[in-house]
Amino acid sequence: MSALNDRVKTSSGFYVTQEAPIQTDNAIPTPSVPAPDILRCAYMELVVTDLAASREFYVDVLGLYVTEEDDAAIYLRSTEEFIHHNLVLRQGPIAAVAAFSYRVRSPEELDVAVAFYSELGCRVERRSEGFTKGIGDSVRVEDPLGFPYEFFYQTEHVERLSWRYDLHTPGELVRLDHFNQVTPDVPRAVKFMQDLGFRVTEDIQDDEGTVYAAWMRRKPTVHDTAMTGGDGPRMHHVAFATHEKHNILAICDKLGALRRSDAIERGPGRHGVSNAFYLYLRDPDGHRVEIYTQDYYTGDPDNPVVTWDVHDNQRRDWWGNPVVPSWYTEASLVLDLDGNPKPVVARTDDSELEVTIGADGFSYTREGDEEKGFKLGNTL
């Protein structure tokens, strides 16, 4: 649900408010203890079913750098990273996400995290030697939304490769930008993430107050993670940033040259939300990877919150290009701390796909349009 009264319409067609206009009547209780001080999303641990195929995708095609590898796992980082890795590929029986891992400001924040999640009754596990190579003392939890979250500070430092232009490729991935999670009840998830210290930067709603998705940040970009409404808990995508837009186009061109263009699921395009230039790929297991560049600074406490109308056909693609249905419906399983897939709970709120497409939905290019400019029909 959402309070829409104070929003101001911008000249670009969306709204701004001072506070995230999201409310829930199904809140997870706010802990009495403080939340850990999170710096940023730091790495994702992915379980893949064919490690060699995944290595080819992430290393040979996307050009991520191998910090370390063995028969069971590969530790990858992006160009400017100085911590051990941004992505772990681990061979396993079922494609899934083992951890959404965040870096905290100091070693002491791990105690804070333990207290925070313990009060919430979550399963919490701590390993002083870390859960993955290159990472020290770490806490993993099954959070109240069902996601496997990790927090750590200690890590091996590795060389930042920003100046190593001799190694760079045309589609160079310079940084891990964000995660994106699928959850049935977005307002409930947002409220919990706010308790964890995240701030909402943008969201998609309708006039009835249904919230379809919300973006939240710790570092001053549009997000460290987002909550996408759908059957969950599942992982929607992990995103890496490039410096320029042509880098993203180069990835598409290379996939074409390799006759792997079917790895391109959606885009490239310009997001309405975040204003970033984007591309969505699917890895050999179907895990979705976004390539992303040029959102905006959000670090001020009064950073205006942007709200998009779900029927605005430019919200997800500023150029009005259609969102493929698989992008709405498919996502990766997440694992519990024993490595078993979490059961998926169905969304009961309206589906963004259904309210915007087809007989039961509508979208507009200009407010007041009677479906003019709604381009999906044209592609049938």
Piece of the chain touching a copy of itself by CB under 8 A; list 206-214, 247-255, 283-291, 339-347: 247-255
294 binds a copy of itself (CB under 8 A): yes
Residue 126 or 270: the one with the smaller Cβ distance to a copy of itself is 270
The type of residue at 149 is: Y
CB of 144 to a copy of itself, least distance (A): 27
Residues 128-187 that bind a copy of itself (CB under 8 A): 157, 159-160, 162-170, 172, 174-175
Size of the site for a copy of itself (CB under 8 A): 83
CB of 50 to a copy of itself, least distance (A): 16
Residues 29-68 that bind a copy of itself (CB under 8 A): 39-40
246 binds a copy of itself (CB under 8 A): yes
CB of 294 to a copy of itself, least distance (A): 5
340 binds a copy of itself (CB under 8 A): no
Piece of the chain touching a copy of itself by CB under 8 A; list 24-32, 120-128, 208-216, 299-307: 299-307
324 binds a copy of itself (CB under 8 A): yes
Piece of the chain touching a copy of itself by CB under 8 A; list 6-14, 180-188, 197-205, 348-356: 6-14
Nearest to 146 by CA among 13, 276, 336: 336
CB of 338 to a copy of itself, least distance (A): 31
Which of 197, 209, 220, 341 is close enough to bind a copy of itself by CB under 8 A? 220
Residues 75-94 that bind a copy of itself (CB under 8 A): 80, 82-83
Piece of the chain touching a copy of itself by CB under 8 A; list 12-20, 87-95, 199-207, 228-236: 12-20
3-state helix, strand, coil in the chain (%, to 5): 15, 35, 50
Nearest to 252 by CA among 272, 235, 269: 269
Piece of the chain touching a copy of itself by CB under 8 A; list 130-138, 200-208, 321-329, 331-339: 321-329
366 binds a copy of itself (CB under 8 A): yes
23 binds a copy of itself (CB under 8 A): no
Piece of the chain touching a copy of itself by CB under 8 A; list 51-59, 93-101, 103-111, 208-216: 103-111
314 binds a copy of itself (CB under 8 A): yes
328 binds a copy of itself (CB under 8 A): no
13 binds a copy of itself (CB under 8 A): yes
> 3-state secondary structure string, the chain?
CCCCCCCEECCCCCEEECCCCCCCCCCCCCCCCCCCCEEEEEEEEEEECCHHHHHHHHHHHCCCEEEEECCCEEEEECCCCCECCCEEEEECCCCEEEEEEEEECCCCHHHHHHHHHHHCCCCEEEECCCCCCCECCEEEEECCCCCEEEEECCECECCCCCCCCCCCCCCCCCEEEEEEEEECCHHHHHHHHHHCCCEEEEEEECCCCCEEEEEEECCCCCCCEEEEECCECEEEEEEEECCCHHHHHHHHHHHHHCCCHHHEEEEEEECCCCCCEEEEEECCCCCEEEEEECCCCCCCCCCCEEEEECCECCCCCCCCCCCCHHHHHCCEEEECCCCCECCCECCCCCCHHHHHCCCCCCCECCCCCCCCCCCHHHHC
Residues 249-288 that bind a copy of itself (CB under 8 A): 249-250, 252-262, 264-265, 268, 270, 272, 275, 277
For the chain, what is the radius of gyration of the CA atoms? 20
